[in-house]
Every structure is written in structure tokens, then in C-alpha cells.
Structure 1
Amino acid sequence: MRRNLIWKLSGALLVLTAGAGLCQQKLAQTGLKFLSVTTDARVSAMGEAAVTTTGTSSAMFFNPAGMARLTNSVDISLGRVNWIADINYSFGSMALNIAEGKYGVFGVNFLSVDYGDLRGTVRATNDAGYQDTGVFSPTAFAVGFGYAKALSDKFSVGGNMRYVKQDLQSSIVAYNQDGSPIRTDNRVDVYTFDFGILYRTGFKSLDFGMNLRNFSEEIEYVQESFQLPLTFELGISMNVMDLLGDEEASTDFNVSVDAVHPRDFNEQFNFGGEYVFMEVFALRAGYTFPSDEHHFSAGAGFRKNSLFALDYAYTPFGLFKDVHRFSVHFGL
């Protein structure tokens, strides 16, 4: 019965993603793009090859099924992204592993965006051609609840539901005859859903995973509707040192490869590598193609068993300034 359930869940996700793919054969513009920004430093340093990322609460941001392999009773991840154009992201996640996974793993997560202060203008008939409308500060955030369960020693499933809100504040669209402004609110909110599976193939440490992120209804600003950045991903990963057959090796070399099908861009491939020495120090690098601005990424990390980890990622971003990511992880 369990085996039948596993295949049914896998088939359901494949049907869902196939249907999504048929609806987006042409590239489309999407909104709430902040949901597409990779947050975790370790994952970012490895070229965003994240489908088979496991063992931490931050898996909810990439493939919630990976949370089922949590070994700690409590796991907390926090981090910050210094994004382009002086935009900053803050994120966090916490997972509870109840009764060593007997009832599954429950998690909560948040993501917030600080766009800074912007100056608004509106078209005018004066010499400058515009009129200053003052400073405004747009914001965006998402809060979510995730759940993952290992259905067998090889197969895990997971899901994540988030409430997402973006507030671009009010804007002046016209003026009354008496000169008073006519304003409209630019706020939207929506629920999004992520689904994922993770499968241990049984060959060494080879893992296979797939996920669907940002599944949601269309949203509307004033009179214009748009879709969210729906993304389907397939990925594999492995510690290639296992191929040497040395179980006492003091180093690991983890390799990840993801195939990504976003709604608003061409298909992409993410490649990532992580060299871990003595289970303490890690050096990472990754590559993404095709991509408009960013391709290469790199980073480093320090960890103490599963109790503490500190990670950093660097991504050169073409015409824009470099992107820096920092994340810290605690386990109990």
C-alpha cells in the first residue's frame, strides 16, 4: 500500500507540472519576482542547484521534501542577501522534527524585502515635464508553513504554503479639476504553494528530486493581471567520493545538477560543487546557464556537526554590483 501511495504522489506531481508546462509554452512576464531570488548562501554558492538540498529547515525555500531528512529535533536558519540596486532580503526558517520523524517534520518560514526609499514623480506640463510626489518605501514579505514526511527510507514528500504580500504604496494617477490628486493603492496579496519529492536511488549517495514552486492564481494590480514566477525543477546530487569506496575519507565532494523550467525565462541548468574537509570547512562553486547577467558563483562555509553552520556566497552580477549572501544555521 505504501509503495502504491508513493507512485500515486509522484504521478500527481508529474501531472501537475506537465499541466503547468502546457500552460506556459511561451515565455511570460511575471510579478512578485522577489519570490525567485535564491536566499540561502550555501545553495547560492553552488549555482542555485538546490532541488536535492536536505537536512535543514531552509529546504522549504527550494524543495520542502528535503526537510524530511532533518536529524535534529529543532533546526533554525537565518540569513541576509545584499541584492542589486541596494535591495536587501532577510529570511528565516524553523523546523520541528517530532518523534524522530514519526509524525513528519513541521516548519515555518519568512522572507522580507527592503527596497529602500524611492522618489515618486508624475507627468506634468511644467518645464521639467514631471512633478515630484514625494518619497515612498515599497515593501514585500512572505510567511509560510511547511510539512515533510519520509514515506520510506528512500522516498520523501513535502509541501509549503505561503501568504505573500507586496505593497508598492499609493500612486497618483490623475488630478481633479481643483488640483487635488487622485490616488490608487498598489497592494496585492496571494497564497502560493510549493510541492516536492526526494528519492534516494540506492546507488551510493545518489539522490533525485523534483519540485514545483510558486503555484498560485493570477493576481491583479488595478486592471492588469499577471502570473507568479512558477518554476519546475528536476535535480540530482551525489558525493562523488563514494565512487572511490573509501568510507574513512576525510573529505567529501558533493556535486549537484538541476534542470530548471521557469515561467518567464528559457530553460536553465544549474551546476554546483562543494568540497568539504574534515566535515568542518567547505569551499563551493557553481555555474548557471543560460543567464542574462549572473553565471558564476562561489562561497565558503564552516560547520560544527549539525549544531552550527556559517555560510557565505558571492555572485558577480554583470552590469550591476556584486551580490553577497550570508546565512547561519543552528540545530538542537
Structure 2
Amino acid sequence: MGGAATSLVDDGNAVFWNVAGITSIDRFHFSVSHNDWLVNSKIQTAVLAKRFKDNVFAVNLISFRVESFEETTIQEPYGTGRMVNAGDDLFGLAYGRNFTDKLSLGIQLKYVNEILDDYSFSNVMVDVGSLYKTGFRNLALAFVFQHFGPDISPVNKKFRSPLLFKIGASDYLFKSNTSMLILGLDLVHPIDGEEFINVGLEGSVLNTLKLRIGNQYNRDLLNFSYGLGLNEIKMFGGTVFSMDYSFSTLNNIFSDIHRITFGIKF
């Protein structure tokens, strides 16, 4: 949906978009995903969330790996023969609570470690999110702060944490017993870049097959995103299975981005 998910994600994967969204979980939710990112880099995620009455707790992992590349120097600009590795790892602990039947709040503590060849540095960041179901039609509003943390100094130079502020809204354009069409909108303000807008549509057929399209406006990299999902597939013992796939087109020479996610509720 072009990233327009701040007020829509309602399972464990909400820890990546709006941590307050995990409060929509009824029991357990487990999810894993794989993302083919830029220049043969890979992103893997895993989430486990559990409800305890009005409280929901979640743990999540993110692994980002860049394809090894050959070192170059001023003396050997065509390569030294030595390969360089780089990547990031994140571990998150999240908590969400339903304060009323309309208002939910969430907070997440994240530990991030980055490796670039022989260098390694880490940081601790915090996400805070809210989700408010207005009661007017099916309008939902969301407010999110992500990646709030101290400055880091990896190589004797300070860098600010990539703080992000998002406002999201969503509503049903059409809804029946078996089908629906949802519009999502996110306004995103990164502290280290220009504001941009995410807009997306999600349609559902027979409450199982979901089709999605979205776009990011005022972004140099990403263009349209397309996706489909199979949700609420009932299995043994009350277990519910879901699968989602999406790809995003780019505004440059890089290959399209592909993502796939598997989830179970039990």
C-alpha cells in the first residue's frame, strides 16, 4: 500500500509501522518476512506477540545484510582482493494497551547494532505510537514517533538518530459482508529529509483475498507498490494462516523490490 499502514496494520507487524497496532491481536501472533532490497541486500524480520487481557507484549528481530563487496583504496582503486561485510541487527521489545474501546497506545524499546567491516557501533532507540478509532464511519487516526534516541559517533563524528514523525488516517470507502475497500493515508516527516506522503488502497474479496496498490509522493527512490494477500485461512486447532506478497517499482536503475510475509495466529 505504498507504506500507508500507520493506522491499518493490526497484527504483530505493527511494531514496524505503529506499535499501538499490536493491540488488535486477540491471542498469539507470529510472523516472519523476507525482503529483497537494493543492490542484492536482504532484510529478514520475525515477530512474536501475545495478549494478556488489555495488554499486548511483542518481541521482534530485524536483520539487514549487504552483499559482500571488494575493498578499494587510493593505491588500489580497482580492488585489493579483500572482501568487506556490512549489515545491521535490531532487537525490539514492545508493549501496547487498550485504554478504551477507541484509544490504544504503544511503546517500543529497540537495540540496534551496525557492522561495517571492522567497525561496530550500537544505539538504543524508542518508538511511541497511538491509534484512535473515532467512531465516525470507520475512520481511524494514528500518530507515531519512531527512532527517538541519542546521537551516535561511529567514526569520531556525531550523527543524529533518524527520528521520524507520522500522522496516519484510514477509512472504508466500501464495505459489505464479504468485500471491502479501504483508503489509507500517511504524512511522514523525517528529521533528516523532506516530508513525503504515502497513499494506498486495499480491497478484499470474500474476506480472504486482498489486493493492494499504493504510492509514495515526493520520494526520489520508490514509486508504485502492488501486493496481494491471503488472510484468515483457518487451519487445525483454531490456527489462522496468512501470506502477503508485494513488490515496489523504483525511479532509477535499481531492480524492483520484492517482499513476502508469512503469519499465523493461534
Q: TM-score scaled by structure 1?
A: 0.76
1:280 maps onto 2:208 in alignment: yes
Assess, with a 3 A threshold, how the Cα gap between structure 1 residues 277 and 80 changes in structure 2: closer, same or farther: same
1:312 maps onto 2:260 in alignment: no
Cα separation, 2, equivalents of 1:262 and 1:129: 35
Q: Calculate percent identity across the aligned residue pairs.
A: 27
Cα separation, 1, equivalents of 2:171 and 2:48: 26
* Deviation of 1:131 (Å): 6.2
* Deviation of 1:264 (Å): 2.1
Cα separation, 1, equivalents of 2:177 and 2:7: 23
Describe the SS at the equivalent of 1:153: coil
Q: Deviations over 1:257-293 (max 9, x none)?
A: 0110012221111101001001110110001110102
* Deviation of 1:305 (Å): 5.1
Q: 1:69 aligns with which of 21, 24, 43?
A: 24
Match for residue 251 of structure 1? 179
Describe the SS at the equivalent of 1:60: helix
Match for residue 73 of structure 2? 122
Higher fraction of helix: 1
Q: 1:300 aligns with which of 215, 228, 244?
A: 228
Amino acid at match of 2:91: V
**Paired residues of 2:9 and 2:17 also in contact (CA < 8 A):** no
| Pairing 1:153-164 to 2, within 5 Å after superposition | 153-164=101-112
How many residues in Structure 1 have an aligned counterpart in Structure 2?
260
* Deviation of 1:133 (Å): 5.8
**Paired residues of 1:117 and 1:135 also in contact (CA < 8 A):** yes
- Higher relative contact order by CA 8 Å / sep ≥ 6: 1 or 2? 1
Cα separation, 2, equivalents of 1:129 and 1:312: 40
1:142 maps onto 2:76 in alignment: no
Q: Deviations over 1:155-201 (max 9, x none)?
A: 0000111100001022xxxxxxxxxxxxxxx2110001000011010
Cα separation, 2, equivalents of 1:146 and 1:195: 10
- Larger displacement relative to structure 2 (220-229 or 269-278): 220-229
Cα separation, 1, equivalents of 2:37 and 2:94: 26
Q: 2:4 aligns with which of 49, 55, 58?
A: 49
* Deviation of 1:204 (Å): 1.9
Assess, with a 3 A threshold, how the Cα gap between structure 1 residues 133 and 223 changes in structure 2: closer, same or farther: farther
1:213 maps onto 2:155 in alignment: no
Match for residue 197 of structure 1? 130
Give ranges in structure 1 of 5+ residues lacking alignment.
Answer: 1-45, 171-185, 243-247
Cα separation, 2, equivalents of 1:224 and 1:55: 39
Amino acid at match of 2:96: A
* Deviation of 1:67 (Å): 0.6
Q: Deviations over 1:292-323 (max 9, x none)?
A: 02121111111125811111111011221110
Q: TM-score scaled by structure 2?
A: 0.94
- Larger displacement relative to structure 2 (143-152 or 221-230): 221-230
**Paired residues of 1:194 and 1:212 also in contact (CA < 8 A):** yes
Cα separation, 2, equivalents of 1:203 and 1:47: 25
Assess, with a 3 A threshold, how the Cα gap between structure 1 residues 130 and 196 changes in structure 2: closer, same or farther: same
Describe the SS at the equivalent of 1:58: helix
| Pairing 1:7-46 to 2, within 5 Å after superposition | 46=1
Match for residue 12 of structure 1? none
Q: 1:165 aligns with which of 83, 92, 113?
A: 113
Describe the SS at the equivalent of 1:67: helix
**Paired residues of 1:123 and 1:130 also in contact (CA < 8 A):** no
Superposed CA RMSD = 1.5
Give ranges in structure 2 of 5+ residues lacking alignment.
Answer: 235-239
Amino acid at match of 1:83: W
Describe the SS at the equivalent of 1:117: strand
Describe the SS at the equivalent of 1:265: coil
